[in-house]
Amino acid sequence: MQTCSPLLSVYFSGIEQLAAILQAAGFQLELRQLEGGLCEGQVQRLQLGSLQLLRIRLNRSLVVIGDKALGRLLLCLSLVPPSPGGVGLQSHGKSIGEAELYGVDSQLPIHLVTPSSYTLAIASINREMLFEQAEALGAPDLAKLLGSSNVLSLQQKRLEALRRCITNLFAMPAVGPGPPPENDLLPLLIEAIVDGKERQQGKQRLPPRFEIVQLVERWALENPSTPISLDELCRQVYASRRSLIQGFQEHLGMPPMRFIRLQRLHGVRRALLEAQQTERSVAELAGAWGFNSSGHFSRNYQQLFGELPHQTLQRGRRGAS
């Protein structure tokens, strides 16, 4: 079972230290500082299964030159809009906007000019694994789409979803048993590439998939404790993985399996508040909604509602007395 590695966070003082940190992460890069003063910042690194994710904060403008690793795809995204004035973000002489994904062409070497006070995310992905995931999500032609352009413009909703997902991954690096954490990020990246390419080619996007979202909502209400996988959920609502995931990202801003969990957590909360003077325990009520691991259930419940399940139960019983 794949898990998220511990977060590696390193502060640097000088471009030599930055180059050494990036080299340890597998990047052979030449760095040139364009502004006076000490270049300082931070590099944070997560290994998410076969995907490596970096967040880099800089306080000086740099030129970054180097070759991309064979067999891997680099996708870069601005996490914080560059400060106005000074050198702007450029890739191969092209100005990059804050809503653009860059580095998409795996055959093109790295040539990046960063602005001052800049924060970027870099996702380094095994190409074959990415293509396998893309095919499973209903985008079998992803390999053909790559290479014709190094920069893709993103819709605002996709930009915000990617930034939110990356921020959450760095905020919660310790992942226990369960789906690999890149399961959230990879579909977002794949959809961003496909959508960017189609918009670049002037193709009309499919209409919103709200009907699929409604079918899943109905299934979740009618099957509160039934174990379900993403593939089985697709079969239940007669939708492809890509359509299902894209529909939830468009309308709810989250993956469908996370929605199922949230729906069931709300069901447990209602049951706890309505328990009154019954002797049913938290574990029994949670089990009725498909939660069999008390530790994971309690943690997810507290993250969502800001209190532990037994506190909700006690409050419900006090209100009934």
Q: How confident is the model at residue 272 (pLDDT cuts 50, 70, 90)?
A: confident
Residue 5 structure tokens: 């590695």
DSSP state of 208: P
- Domain coordinates of the chain in residue numbers? 8-200, 207-321
Question: For the residues 37-58, what does the mean pLDDT come to?
Answer: 91
pTM tops 0.85: no
Domain 8-200 -> CATH class: mainly beta
Rg, Å, the chain Cα set = 22
DSSP class per residue in 277-315: T----HHHHHHTTT---HHHHHHHHHHHHSS-HHHHHHH
Which strands sit side by side in the sheet containing 29-33, from one edge to the other?
29-33, 62-66, 110-113, 90-91, 94-95
Of the candidates 253, 263, 245, 251, the residue with the CA atom closest to the CA atom of residue 300: 263
Per-residue confidence (pLDDT) for residue 193, from 0 to 100:
86
Of 53-57, 206-210, 221-225, the one with minimum mean pLDDT is: 206-210
Per-residue confidence (pLDDT) for residue 205, from 0 to 100:
46
Q: Is the pLDDT of residue 97 over 70?
A: yes
CATH superfamily, with its number, for domain 207-321 = Homeodomain-like (1.10.10.60)
